[in-house]
Amino acid sequence: MQYRPLGRTGIKVSPYALGTLMYATRMGNEPQESARIIHKALDAGINFLDTGDAYGDSEEVVGEALKGRRENVVLATKFGMPAGEDPNQRGTSRRWIIKAVENSLRRLQTDYIDVYQIQRLDPTTDFEETLSALTDLIRSGKVRVIGSSTTPASDIVEAQWVAERRGLERFRTEQPPYSLLNRSIEREVLPVAQRYGMGVMVWGPLGQGMLTGRVRRNQENNLVRARLFKHLSDERRIEVVERLLPLAEEAGMSLTHLAMAFTITHPGVTSALAGARTLAHLDDLIAGFDVQLSDDILDRIDEIVPPGTDVGTLDQDYVPEALQNSHLRRRPGTERAAA
């Protein structure tokens, strides 16, 4: 395994990381089976695990599986998504951050978190409030590095400037979506992250299942997510998959290996998060460790999906408040005419 620097943090991580959303028991896995997958991944050289407090009982499953192996793992988790009916059990306020980190530490059975990330921006909270609380966590030793997830480039820059002006710890990592089907982060997010020396671990490298070859034109598929997310039935995305499949075959590799290798080829990407739900999925990931894409293959991918573009929109993508709230994009009725 060729370990890569996580930005300029000094931490070294594997190019493929293990995303653990699928290890929540509500997703169908038994904790013992999830532990076997995690142990096999660690034995194969993967040293980077990512979870989140909104992933059901994933943190508990991961914490139990890492007993006796915690020191050799770079452990990342996230906060900010709703954790209950209480309106204050979410977001990025100091009040919630202090509570959320204690909850995660308990569930993970550890006394520190390597990478603690905001899962989504909270437009109701100042960056200064959030970074101040996260800075205190670093100084207390409960957190090593802080980061963000699915964040627009402009907000990444603002957070960096707030940290510098206020003498606070800054975000050192970003976790955006990235795949053969979603390349928009190449336009601004990755260049900005590179400028600030941030480590980048991308989620969704297999397009939430579309790049496994199981979603085909005019064919039924058994993906559980296909019943939940519209982007898994988007005809534009299916058309691109149909064009990528023969390219992978011609290159002598599976579509999953092509997709995973593509994401870690960009110099701004540190690691790609793979959600291996079964041992067979993990075995396939391990079998692709040595896959390297030639310039010719990358050029042909660029012809199918031009750099910096998305094919359709992910259901889980970040939508700014200015688009969600109609009052922020419509003047009052009395002010809408020119005269």
The catalytic residues are: 55
DSSP string, 98-114: HHHHHHHHHHHT-S-EE
**What tokens appear for 62 in the block?**
């991961």
CA distance 9 to 18: 20
Identify whether the C-beta of residue 174 lies closer than 8 Å to the C-beta of residue 50.
no
**Residue 25: φ, ψ to 5°:** -60, -25
CA distance 209 to 155: 29
Q: Are strands 173-175 and 199-202 parallel, antiparallel or unpaired?
A: parallel
Tokens 């963000």 correspond to: 148
For residue 50, what are the β-bridge partners?
19, 76
CA 141-142-146 angle, 5° bins: 100
Smallest Cα–Cα separation from 118: which of 71, 53, 72? Answer: 53
